[in-house]
Amino acid sequence: MTSPTKKPLTYADTGVDIEAGDRLVGLIQSMMKRTHGPRVLGEHGGFAGMFRLDFNERLFKRNFKDPVLVACTDGVGTKVKLACELGIYDTVGIDCVAMNVNDMIVQGAEPLIFLDYLGLHTQVPETTAAIVAGVAKGCEISNCALIGGECAEMPDIYKEGDFDIAGFAVGVVELDRAIDQSRVEAGDIIIGLPSSGVHSNGFTLARAAIEGLDLHEVFPELDEEKPLGQVLLEPTKIYVEPITKLLREYTVKKVVSGMSHITGGGIAGNLCRSIGDDVDATISLDSWEIPNVFNFLQKHGNIETEEMFRVFNMGIGYVLIVRPSFADSITTKLEKLGESPIVLGDITNGTGKVHLVPGE
């Protein structure tokens, strides 16, 4: 029973607005539906999303004969702090999808479904809808269905204006097409695909490097007309379409022996995860031009070059390891798919190490 002398306590009094949450659902329904295909079952608003994995071959072009599910989860890190400071919320959702699906395709998998989690101080439906709009956009780019999510309003956990976002993705790959370390052999060629910028790693260091600078200022040394904040918030590039299309070009020959998504740890820290302990990878540092944003961060943060390569992608967001006799044709196919592939180096006999070698 409630006390007659004390005002009844409500959830809204504690900072959680149920009505705002309900209003958000109406704002994001159409965004989610744009990512749905015929494999998505049920209506939005259920307790869980449903996705049909196996289907009638008369209705669908392809069927999975020996499917292996591939799952991953990741977030955006402290890049969200910049988004909050600038009031730009529609890009970090793309980042969240990218960080997951780019990891997934390394295994040769095709993304199927995605779910997001938002932890918030206060539910502001229009702001949250902008974040989810980014998630939906990332899913559309990835041909991945956004089938659900969660928005948790926790004013006693997050400071006013703060939020965090994480994603969960599930994909599928045919067992005999799954990519693992055992494929990589001495003589293979390493091909890099450019990043779109800093992506979503190392932002604690990046934010420290630019401390005191005006995020709204346009810096000529960046060679961009956008303010510094927008340059740093450039969404993580999604590599799903070119990679999945490339892999479908080779249905019999396994010409891609390994791949790597370049995230925290840089090129060396991620490429080593894609090779066995009987080979080494050698990367020539003069094979590509480092984007100005990294030089900017290094200068203003007084960061040593070794640390830069240990933390950031330095302009290479994704790496393929391919059979030498197919390197030229794969490069050509990637170019036709809109990429700008760069031959970075090669694989030699070794002990599982990655060598970053200065140019001659």
pLDDT 10s digit of each residue in the chain, 360 long?
555 666 664 555 555 554 555 555 555 566 666 676 766 666 655 666 666 766 554 544 556 678 888 999 999 999 999 999 999 999 999 999 999 999 999 999 999 999 999 999 888 888 889 999 999 999 999 999 998 888 888 998 889 989 999 999 999 999 888 998 899 999 999 999 999 999 999 999 999 999 999 999 999 999 778 999 999 999 999 999 999 999 999 888 889 999 999 999 999 999 999 999 999 999 999 999 999 999 999 999 999 999 999 999 999 999 999 999 999 999 999 999 999 999 999 999 999 999 999 865
Backbone angles phi, psi at 22, to 5 degrees: -65, -40
Domain stops at, among 148, 177, 206: 177
CATH of residue 121: 3.30.1330.10
Domain membership of residue 10 (yes or no) is no
CATH of residue 216: 3.90.650.10
Residues 147 and 258 in one domain: no
Tokens of 12: 């809204």
What's the total number of domains in the chain? Answer: 2
What is the average pLDDT value for the chain, to the nearest integer? 88
Domain membership of residue 58 (yes or no) is no
Q: What does pTM read for this prediction?
A: 0.89
- β pairing state of 110-120 and 145-153: parallel
| DSSP letter string, 43-108 | -TTSSS-EE--S--TTTSS---SSEEEEEEEEE-TTHHHHHHHHT--SSHHHHHHHHHHHHHHTTT
Residues 138 and 245 in one domain: no
Backbone angles phi, psi at 239, to 5 degrees: -100, 10
Domain membership of residue 245 (yes or no) is yes
Residues 89 and 226 in one domain: no
- Comparing C-alpha atoms, which of 115, 128, 114 is closest to residue 83? 128
What is the span of the domain harbouring residue 205?
181-357
Residues 279 and 266 in one domain: yes
- β pairing state of 189-194 and 342-349: antiparallel
Residue 51 in contact with residue 41, Cβ under 8 Å? yes
- In Å, what is the CA distance from 332 to each residue of 63, 247, 337, 340? 29, 14, 9, 9
For residue 178, give the amino acid letter. Answer: A
Residues 216 and 351 in one domain: yes
Domain membership of residue 6 (yes or no) is no
Backbone angles phi, psi at 293, to 5 degrees: -60, -35
Residues 173 and 185 in one domain: no
For residue 10, give the amino acid letter. Answer: T
User: Sign of the C-alpha dihedral, residues 25, 29, 30, 34?
Assistant: positive
Residues 130 and 199 in one domain: no
